[in-house]
Amino acid sequence: MGMNAKPSESPAAPSAGLQVGDFLRTEASQHREAFESLIQGLEEPFSQTLAIWEASIRRGGKLLLFGNGGSAGDAQHIAAEFVIRYHSDRPAIAAISLTTDSSTLTAGSNDLGFEHIFSRQIEALGRPGDVAIGISTSGRSRNVLNGLREARNRQLHTTGLIGGDGGEMRACCDSAIIVPSTVTARIQEMHIFVGHLLCKALETRLGLVG
């Protein structure tokens, strides 16, 4: 065997604690349950949220999205779909994720406190008639709540993507879409599904989809 040759390695033995087939079935079942629970009550809050977003954009407003962790990723994802495109080429839709500017986020956390990183940006960027869109799997994230409250103080509309029972956030939103699950991963999966639905529906309502 040459100096640089490596002995053949046997595949690692399967862990006794994980049966892949059972694992996949359990995860898929949780996903399916979250989806079915969401769909049953989705039409009314979806219609309300869509109407708020559409009215703002038609009047020259913008969408301001924010959340923490995976919800921050969803805020960026949904904002990108609006600014660039979701379904087909069309004029841009004004949307900003408040989770992407590292200098603003770190300065805000250091100087004002992490609980104010979104409310401060709402103060700077929000105008009456814009829409603040909070995303939280628990509905209890302090900085998201503060962002929505600041938005209301400044006469912005407020909507939310939430999980569980909606938490405190429910009362801070003019319209909220709530995923009735306590499993964070399943809530996040439903949030991006709903985000995609809202993107396509808004493009269609605005007459931007051929």
Report percent pLDDT > 70 for the chain. Answer: 91
Specify burial of residue 88 (Cβ count, 10 A radius: 0-12, 13-18, 19+).
exposed
Helix runs in the chain, H state only: 20-40, 43-58, 70-83, 102-111, 117-125, 142-153, 184-205
Average pLDDT in the 108-116 region? Answer: 98
Mean pLDDT of the chain: 93
Instruction: Please say if the pLDDT value at position 4 is more than 80.
Output: no
Average pLDDT in the 199-205 region? Answer: 95
Alpha-carbon gap, residue 84 to 73, rounded angstroms: 16
Instruction: Please say if the pLDDT value at position 11 is more than 70.
Output: no
Amino acid at 176: A
Closest to 131 measured CA to CA, from 77, 50, 199 = 50
Closest to 60 measured CA to CA, from 105, 32, 92, 34 = 92
Cα–Cα distances (Å) from 51 to 45, 54, 120, 175, in that order, read 10, 5, 26, 10
In this prediction, residue 7 carries a pLDDT of 47
Instruction: Please report which confidence band the pLDDT of residue 210 belongs to, taking 50, 70 and 90 as the band edges.
Output: low
Average pLDDT in the 174-203 region? Answer: 97
Alpha-carbon gap, residue 197 to 210, rounded angstroms: 17
Instruction: Please say if the pLDDT value at position 12 is more than 90.
Output: no
179 φ, ψ (degrees, to nearest 5) = -90, 110
